[in-house]
Amino acid sequence: MDSDSRLQLVRKKLMNIAGSNSKIAVFFGPFSRKRLGIQTLQALQSVIVRNGIDTESLIVHFDEDMFKSTNEAARLHGLFSSLTGCKIYAEENSLKCRGIQVADAVAHSFGQIVKSAITGDEKIVDIGGRNTGYAKGTEAPLSWALLMNLRYAMLTRPVIYDGENYDSATDPVVIDPENDEPVDFGQNPTLLGWGVQVAPEADEVLRQAVEKRLGKLWLGCIH
């Protein structure tokens, strides 16, 4: 994309859609082509349960080659009781399924975020200019800029403020209205386990990098 301004513009528009018209959850795990489909379904189930998502109206699109076949996808789908009711399309062409293009852009961004946490190498980018809220020439780490662009779209641990009824499977933070400061919880929510899933098979290096960079998320002012 570095030499093609058209592709840069397309990517920018995809990220704008992700940041303003989506709810995002991401999954990190060791790559195994053989287990990719079932790992993704496992992560999907965790996201659905932890975030209280209604599966009766849920349609899920998977990029091609994540499952051996559509029959295999249907078989594996049937193993997950919490995915009953959702409809899956297991062999989608990303050139035609625009949602997968958005998801791919998001996945690439989070890959960059965690990679920088593992390697310690950080690219510095210009974030300033017109309509950015920053003076021209302002610089910041690329991983920070990517996360800040997506932070309001991330699924986070729910917060219960006044003892209202809630789905216990979502495991929310229950605030004590007399002794807790709600802003401390609402503006700095937990991502890990809700908007961020890590495979149990992940090695310690990957797990620590995800927890360090994506365990919690600041939603307050960043200026």
207, amino acid identity: R
223 occurs within a structural domain: no
d(CA 209, CA 204): 8
- Residue 74 has a CB neighbour count (10 Å cut-off) of 12
88: part of which helix (H) or strand (E)?
strand 87-92
110, amino acid identity: F
d(CA 71, CA 76): 9
163 occurs within a structural domain: no
Predicted confidence (pLDDT) per residue in 69-115, tens digit: 999 999 999 999 999 999 999 999 988 999 999 999 999 999 999 99
**In which residue are the tokens 């800029």 written?**
145
Average pLDDT over residues 109-129: 92
116, amino acid identity: S
Q: Is the pLDDT of residue 54 over 60?
A: yes
- Residue 170 has a CB neighbour count (10 Å cut-off) of 15
44 occurs within a structural domain: yes
173 beta partners = 159
d(CA 65, CA 25): 21
222 occurs within a structural domain: no
Q: Is the pLDDT of residue 30 over 90?
A: no
184 occurs within a structural domain: no
- Region for 35 from its dihedrals, namely left if φ exceeds 0, alpha if ψ lies in -120 to 50, beta otherwise: alpha
Domain count across the chain: 1
Q: Is the pLDDT of residue 131 over 80?
A: no
Q: Is the pLDDT of residue 221 over 90?
A: no
60 occurs within a structural domain: yes
128 occurs within a structural domain: yes
Q: Look up the domain containing 96 and give its range.
A: 5-156+191-214
- At 127 the pLDDT is 86
Q: Is the pLDDT of residue 132 over 80?
A: no
- At 3 the pLDDT is 78
Tokens of 161: 């403020």
Predicted confidence (pLDDT) per residue in 139-174, tens digit: 999 999 999 999 999 999 999 988 889 999 999 999
148 occurs within a structural domain: yes
- At 130 the pLDDT is 79
28 three-class SS:
strand
Q: What is the pTM for the complete model shown?
A: 0.90
Q: DSSP secondary-structure letter at 172?
A: P
Q: Is the pLDDT of residue 184 over 90?
A: no
